[in-house]
């Protein structure tokens, strides 16, 4: 009987050198959970403002200043905390963050002066920065082949995580007072983060072979933050981030005043069998689509490229803002256009970290993405200008300015950033 040749072995698929299998999905899940536990520090704050005002007799503006302090501290401290992650690993950094977010809400629960409230905001900002920067950076390291998807899923935890607890928090405030809610949820959130942190660790190999199916260009070597900020491509990324984020932060902060000035806040709107006041409907859809858009566009960017996805998202954002400028006084247009705008706005929190990881390498990914994230703080400083412009020229003029910013950002991403970034990555191969 003639010998039968053994079947030819299948061509080996490029391995990710230990970055495949269940382990990295555990890391991603732990990061998403930690991010969900800090979401209330930003998105749940609004539930406490009026109860604090009634109990302490403080003005709303004074109470909201604590929120401003928190956002600025959290934004500007992310790169510092991310540096600790790159140097000492994710576990100790997140454990410190867990202690700080717990201390922040415990301080809120006993605050009898605005000074203590503001101190709690600083402490909470430090803690949230430690957790945010670490979880995003760790996701970038574990998923070199799916950075957009991983960063988007992690950011979605922060964007939509408060949806799990806003109702229980509201119920506890109504039944037991805001102090009890701060204390209970502060300890509970901190405990969940602390336990989850025990599962976090960085991968041991940072430059694995990337499968050929992945067409995303990636740097061959890692660049330290100090060298990154001397690269023109970084500052172009930073500029585009500020241009897009300023419009989104303005719209998020001013949506209620815009609806009030348009006289449609309480106008009933019916869509797909659901009926609610225009402002309520818009706010609900905005949160849902914002959270959904982050992993969606991150995944899309893994398939068609970062800049192509930016062009699509920023261009769509410009179109939705133009609808708001021209027809925003129509309640249905106000609800749908704002909702679809936030669908394509939230992706900046997945696309930009992923782009930074691709361009500057994974070893310092947490710190580098954190430095880029400070663009959000710069954009936040531009938000008050919208109110000034609206007083003199109306909200339509504000929307038209943001249309221009989004359209210009789309053009810069496609025609300037794309070739510049490819040249920078090619240089990284030549310098190894």
Rounded CA separation 272/284 (Å): 14
Q: Is the domain of 231 the same as that of 116?
A: no
Tell whether 93 is covered by a domain.
yes
pTM of the model: 0.77
What's the mean pLDDT in 31-36? 94
Tell whether 208 is covered by a domain.
no
Q: Is the domain of 257 the same as that of 305?
A: yes
Position 299 pLDDT exceeds 60: yes
Number of domains in the chain: 2
Closest Cα partner for 360 from 198, 250, 237, 245? 237
Q: Is the domain of 256 the same as that of 186?
A: no
Tell whether 397 is covered by a domain.
yes
Tell whether 276 is covered by a domain.
yes
Domain endpoint, select from 197, 212, 246: 197
276 three-state secondary structure: strand
The pLDDT score that the predictor gives to residue 64 is: 79
Q: Is the domain of 74 the same as that of 112?
A: yes
Residue 10, phi-psi category: left (phi > 0), alpha (psi -120 to 50), beta (remainder): beta
Q: Is the dihedral of CA 165, 101, 284, 349 positive or negative?
A: negative
Closest Cα partner for 301 from 185, 117, 140? 140
Domain containing 62 — which CATH number?
1.20.1250.20
Q: How confident is the model at residue 214 (pLDDT cuts 50, 70, 90)?
A: low
The pLDDT score that the predictor gives to residue 21 is: 66
The pLDDT score that the predictor gives to residue 18 is: 54
Look at 10-24, 318-332, 337-351, 357-371 and tell me which has the smallest mean pLDDT.
Answer: 10-24
Q: Is the domain of 185 the same as that of 280?
A: no
Q: Is the domain of 237 the same as that of 193?
A: no
Q: Is the domain of 171 the same as that of 233?
A: no
What's the mean pLDDT in 253-261? 81
The pLDDT score that the predictor gives to residue 208 is: 52
Q: Is the domain of 258 the same as that of 113?
A: no
The pLDDT score that the predictor gives to residue 431 is: 44
The pLDDT score that the predictor gives to residue 321 is: 96
Tell whether 12 is covered by a domain.
no
Q: Is the domain of 278 the same as that of 179?
A: no
Highest mean pLDDT among 81-85, 235-239, 260-264, 382-386 belongs to 235-239
How do residues 271-290 score in pLDDT, each as one tens digit?
A: 989 888 898 888 778 878 88
Q: Is the domain of 271 the same as that of 351?
A: yes
Tell me the residue range of the domain where 385 lies.
225-430
The pLDDT score that the predictor gives to residue 411 is: 98
Closest Cα partner for 301 from 153, 422, 425, 148? 148
The pLDDT score that the predictor gives to residue 19 is: 53
Tell whether 50 is covered by a domain.
yes
Q: What angle, rounded to 10 degrees, do the helices at 60-88 and 365-373 form? A: 160
Q: By CB neighbour count within 10 A (0-12 exposed, 13-18 middle, 19+ buried), where does 112 fall?
A: exposed
Tell whether 76 is covered by a domain.
yes
Look at 21-35, 38-52, 297-311 and tell me which has the smallest mean pLDDT.
Answer: 38-52
**Is the separation of the CB atoms in 348 and 252 below 8 Å?**
no
Domain endpoint, select from 180, 197, 214: 197
Tell whether 347 is covered by a domain.
yes
The pLDDT score that the predictor gives to residue 292 is: 87
Longest CA–CA separation in the chain, Å: 97
Domain endpoint, select from 148, 178, 197: 197
How do residues 301-322 score in pLDDT, each as one tens digit?
A: 989 999 999 999 999 999 999 9
Position 399 pLDDT exceeds 50: yes
Highest mean pLDDT among 78-82, 244-248, 301-305, 324-328 belongs to 324-328
Q: Is the domain of 239 the same as that of 340?
A: yes
Element (H, E) at 426: helix 418-430
How do residues 90-135 score in pLDDT, each as one tens digit?
A: 999 999 999 999 999 999 999 999 999 999 999 999 999 999 989 9
Q: Is the domain of 282 the same as that of 343?
A: yes
Position 340 pLDDT exceeds 70: yes
């Amino acid at each position: 009987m003639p010998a039968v040749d053994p079947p030819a072995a299948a061509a080996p698929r490029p391995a990710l050198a230990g970055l495949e299998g269940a382990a990295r999905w555990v890391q991603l899940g732990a990061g998403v959970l930690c991010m969900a536990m800090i979401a209330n520090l930003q998105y749940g704050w609004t539930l406490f403002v009026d109860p604090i005002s009634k109990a302490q007799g403080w003005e709303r503006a004074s109470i909201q200043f604590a929120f401003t302090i928190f956002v600025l501290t959290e934004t500007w401290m992310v790169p510092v905390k991310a540096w600790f992650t790159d140097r000492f690993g994710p576990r100790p950094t997140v454990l410190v963050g867990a202690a700080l977010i717990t201390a922040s809400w415990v301080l809120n629960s006993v605050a009898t002066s605005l000074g203590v409230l503001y101190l709690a905001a600083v402490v909470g900002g430090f803690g949230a920065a430690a957790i945010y920067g670490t979880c995003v950076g760790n996701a970038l390291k574990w998923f070199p082949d799916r950075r957009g998807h991983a960063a988007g899923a992690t950011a979605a935890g922060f964007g939509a995580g408060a949806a799990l607890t806003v109702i229980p928090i509201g119920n506890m405030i109504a039944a037991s007072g805001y102090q009890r809610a701060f204390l209970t949820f502060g300890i509970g959130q901190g405990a969940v983060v602390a336990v989850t942190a025990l599962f976090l660790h960085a991968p041991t190999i940072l430059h694995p072979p990337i499968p050929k199916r992945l067409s995303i260009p990636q740097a061959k070597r890692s660049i330290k933050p100090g060298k990154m900020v001397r690269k023109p491509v970084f500052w172009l990324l930073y500029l585009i981030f500020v241009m897009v984020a300023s419009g989104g932060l303005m719209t998020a902060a001013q949506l209620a005043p815009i609806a009030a000035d348009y006289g449609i806040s309480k106008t009933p709107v019916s869509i797909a069998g659901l009926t609610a006041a225009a402002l309520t409907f818009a706010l609900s859809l905005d949160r849902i689509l914002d959270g959904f858009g982050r992993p969606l566009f991150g995944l899309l960017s893994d398939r068609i490229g970062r800049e192509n996805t930016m062009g699509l998202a920023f261009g769509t954002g410009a179109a939705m803002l133009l609808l708001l400028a021209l027809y925003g006084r129509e309640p249905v247009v106000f609800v749908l256009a704002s909702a679809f705008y936030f669908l394509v706005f939230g992706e900046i929190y997945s696309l930009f970290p992923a782009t930074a990881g691709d361009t500057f390498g994974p070893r310092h990914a947490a710190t580098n993405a954190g430095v880029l994230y400070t663009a959000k703080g710069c954009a936040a400083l531009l938000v008050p200008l919208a109110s000034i412009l609206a007083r003199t020229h109306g909200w339509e003029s504000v929307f038209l300015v943001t249309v221009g910013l989004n359209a210009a950002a789309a053009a810069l991403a496609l025609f300037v950033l794309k070739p510049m970034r490819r040249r920078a990555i090619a240089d990284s191969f030549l310098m190894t």
